[in-house]
Copies of this chain bind each other. A is one copy, B any other.
Amino acid sequence: MNAFILSENRFDPKNIRKNESIMCRGNGYMCVRASLEEKYIGEQRNTLINGVFNAPPGEVSEIAVLPDATNCEIEIGGERFDMIRTDIQEYSRILDMKAGEGVRSLVWKSNSGRIRLEFKSIVSLTKKHITALKISITPLDQDTEIKIRAGIDAKVTNTGVQHFSAPVRRVYEDGILGLYLKTLQSGVDVSVHCRCSCDKPYKEEYTTDRRSVYSCISLSVKQGETAIFQKLTSYATSRDVEYAETDVCPETVNRDGTEYLKQALLCGYDALYAESAEMWKKYWEQSPLEICGSDFENKAISFAKYHLNVMASKDDNRVGIGAKGLSGEGYKGHSFWDTEIFILPYYIYTEPETARRLLEYRYKLLDSALLKAKRYGFEGAMYPWEGAWLTDGETCPEEGDLDLMTGEVRKNMMGEIEVHISADIAYAVWQYFQATGDEDFMQHCGYEMILLTAYFWSSRIAEKNGRYEILGVIGPDEYKDNIDNNAYTNYMAFYNLKLAEKIMDKIPEHLRKKYDTQKMLCRITETAERLYLPKADKDGIIPAFDGYRDLEETDTSKYKNRDKVGLIFKDYGFDEIQKLQVGKQADTIMLFHLLGDMFSDEEIKRNYEFYEQRTLHDSSLSMCFHALVGAKCALADEAAAMYHRACSVDIGENVNNSDEGIHSASIGGIWLALAMGFGGLCVEDGMLSVSPILPKGWSGYRFTVCFCGTRLLIETDSSGSQVKRLCGEEKEIRLSGKKLVV
């Protein structure tokens, strides 16, 4: 079993959207869902570029579905090729994650005899504006007439919402098709260029309609010969990082888009593939990652690493990571706390430059965070719960779930009261600094972020019961609305406050001029001192929030570990769930990883068991954290089982789970649980520490860690663990409690 191959051996229309998501191709700048070239009912044909957001009237900003260039309709002897109920032989469809290439090959028994078809496509990792498609067509039984219609289609929408103006359409003398558009509200210019060609003599005509332009190629192919069709496409937008410092005009975007394509045309598919695959190879080689003895987990960890390379921009600090990465329009392309808590650790320990860019994105959102705090009567930095483009501010929709039967729209309070994200970001800043020692980042961004988030907490507390409490919040568990003293939130806020105290003497001069840091420190210190931190009760249970233990207990077995999530809503309304000891996802137990020092092993184990019983795992954020915490509290087998479930979120049997896109938090979480759970990776007192454990069923695993410029390989098998230095300076580290220099 090749861990780097996602495959489908039989075409099933039910899998179209799932495969579009999990097999998507991308390079951090853009992503193309793995839609089949020929159209199908039920497909969701998305090309997305990080940062191209638009807010339609009355709705929040969302990532805009770009004109499509994946399309390619093939007609052989007048018959349209598709795979619905037709005789398809030797079918194989794969995503070769090692090389970032999608390959579909098959023999189609058409009315003109058997036709061998092979489709290959990439989004270039080296030329980030370029996508490429190559189709090989071989008539096996007779000479045939082939027609290929492919082009740029701007009729695509986000679930029916059109974000783009009427496009300008062009065909140039060299056969390049061009489409120029602008987002309707945010005014982002987009240019799409493509060129179709074939290696055998052919006739080409061009057609256009209101929102598209197509090349129609026709040619004759002799029996046994292979015609190779190629379609290269470039995308450019006025939000590209290349223009970050300038006021770019549409003509420049168009001109550069043409230039990108022309450069790509000089290469052709094969050379583009070769150079992109080479870069993918380096990506895999630079930081080996493997789970041995368990094929599924091993594939899942490769799948995670693949998508972690696809979803994050390598060079643009103005964009975040969407809850679906760039693999679909789900969650509107918004960035949540998922990035900092679930995904960022991978980058911190593997690609620290990318981690820095992601944190710089949060730094650039500080103005929005200050504004948001003011709006709600607080001070400091109250981060948007959902982030999109920098100037979009809070993009969490105010309208929540609709009760179809009453017409009532639950007010979505997350934007207002799911406040833990500010602490999560501060936490991530410190994690990054601990692992990288990047003082430059701290000077320019990090200290200010920690200071202002901490200051937010000092304004977000209420004096009650002779102490400071944090009232009216939503914690990680989103089945509970408007709760007081959520353990997760209070502890993370406390951590944030203490962090600010700790860094106070390192705060650079320009910040001391900008803020009254003395006054801020006073408030921060006082808040930290008096902040209420829920402690374990007589049963050793830390209440998830005030009154949790008084809620009704219920049998969760009906609702958990099932094919479908959200089953509890068949029996209970949202308001009723408020009254039950039942949760959607990991909440309190997350603290046992994030702030593990603050709790005893006994406490952790007891609470893990208590809360796991009461958690439905209805969120893809749940399983990976349970695996992680389970592994840390020596429940290795339970952790391995939970890890298996985490791995199944996107590539498991639950077919429609990923229709709208992959689950980026879960994907980050798979790495997180491996490295920081089973691998025990952490930084203690400035020293890197790993203490790997090997769950049953695994014969070993290895992962790399980048620590203050040194890249280490951690390998574990039944004979024990070892750490190898791959590059960088020697470091003293701790392996399973013992110090050593590598």
Tell me if A266 is interfacial: C-beta within 8 Å of chain B.
Answer: no
Chain A, residues 10-53, CB within 8 Å of chain B (1/0): the string is 00010000000000000000000000000111000000000000
The chain B residue sitting closest to A206, CB to CB, is B404
Question: A57 to chain B: which residues have CB within 8 Å?
Answer: 165, 184
> Quick check: B166 and A162 within 8 Å, CB to CB?
no
> Quick check: B166 and A59 within 8 Å, CB to CB?
yes
Question: A58 to chain B: which residues have CB within 8 Å?
Answer: 165-166
A397 CB, min distance to chain B CBs, angstroms: 10
> Quick check: A159 and B86 within 8 Å, CB to CB?
no
> Quick check: B404 and A168 within 8 Å, CB to CB?
no
Most B C-beta atoms less than 10 A away, residue of A40, A85, A170, A404: A404
Tell me if A157 is interfacial: C-beta within 8 Å of chain B.
Answer: yes
Tell me if A402 is interfacial: C-beta within 8 Å of chain B.
Answer: yes
User: How many Å lie between the Cα of A57 and that of B167 in the bound state?
Assistant: 12
> Quick check: B162 and A154 within 8 Å, CB to CB?
no
User: How many Å lie between the Cα of A160 and that of B184 in the bound state?
Assistant: 13
> Quick check: B157 and A405 within 8 Å, CB to CB?
no
A81 CB, min distance to chain B CBs, angstroms: 12
Tell me if A523 is interfacial: C-beta within 8 Å of chain B.
Answer: no
User: How many Å lie between the Cα of A162 and that of B185 in the bound state?
Assistant: 14
The chain B residue sitting closest to A178, CB to CB, is B407
Total copies of this chain within the assembly? 2
Contact of A210 among B40, B41, B160 (CB under 8 A): B160
User: How many Å lie between the Cα of A162 and that of B40 in the bound state?
Assistant: 21
Tell me if A161 is interfacial: C-beta within 8 Å of chain B.
Answer: yes
User: How many Å lie between the Cα of A526 and that of B86 in the bound state?
Assistant: 74
Tell me if A364 is interfacial: C-beta within 8 Å of chain B.
Answer: no
> Quick check: B159 and A402 within 8 Å, CB to CB?
no
> Quick check: A155 and B162 within 8 Å, CB to CB?
no
Question: A168 to chain B: which residues have CB within 8 Å?
Answer: 407
Question: A40 to chain B: which residues have CB within 8 Å?
Answer: 41
Question: A86 to chain B: which residues have CB within 8 Å?
Answer: 85
Interface size of A as a range: 35 or more
> Quick check: A162 and B165 within 8 Å, CB to CB?
no
> Quick check: A170 and B211 within 8 Å, CB to CB?
no
User: How many Å lie between the Cα of A550 and that of B692 in the bound state?
Assistant: 94
A363 CB, min distance to chain B CBs, angstroms: 32
User: How many Å lie between the Cα of A80 and that of B16 in the bound state?
Assistant: 14
Interface residues of A in 389-433 (CB under 8 A from B): 402, 404-405, 407
The chain B residue sitting closest to A78, CB to CB, is B14
Question: A213 to chain B: which residues have CB within 8 Å?
Answer: 404
> Quick check: A170 and B84 within 8 Å, CB to CB?
no
Tell me if A605 is interfacial: C-beta within 8 Å of chain B.
Answer: no
Tell me if A209 is interfacial: C-beta within 8 Å of chain B.
Answer: yes
The chain B residue sitting closest to A171, CB to CB, is B404
Contact of A208 among B155, B156, B402 (CB under 8 A): B402
Question: A206 to chain B: which residues have CB within 8 Å?
Answer: 404-405
Known: A84-B84, A404-B171, A404-B208. A155 touches B166 (CB 8 A): no
User: How many Å lie between the Cα of A165 and that of B184 in the bound state?
Assistant: 14
Top-8 shortest CB links A-B: A155-B160, A171-B404, A162-B162, A85-B85, A160-B211, A159-B210, A39-B41, A84-B84
Q: A41-B82, A159-B209, A172-B405 are in contact. List 7 more A-B contacts (CB 8 A).
A: A41-B41, A58-B165, A58-B166, A85-B85, A155-B160, A159-B211, A171-B405
Could you list some 29 contacts between A and B, CB below 8 A? A13-B80, A39-B41, A41-B41, A57-B165, A57-B184, A58-B165, A58-B166, A84-B84, A85-B85, A85-B86, A154-B160, A155-B160, A157-B157, A157-B160, A159-B209, A159-B210, A159-B211, A160-B211, A161-B162, A161-B166, A161-B210, A168-B407, A170-B404, A170-B407, A171-B404, A172-B405, A173-B405, A208-B402, A208-B404
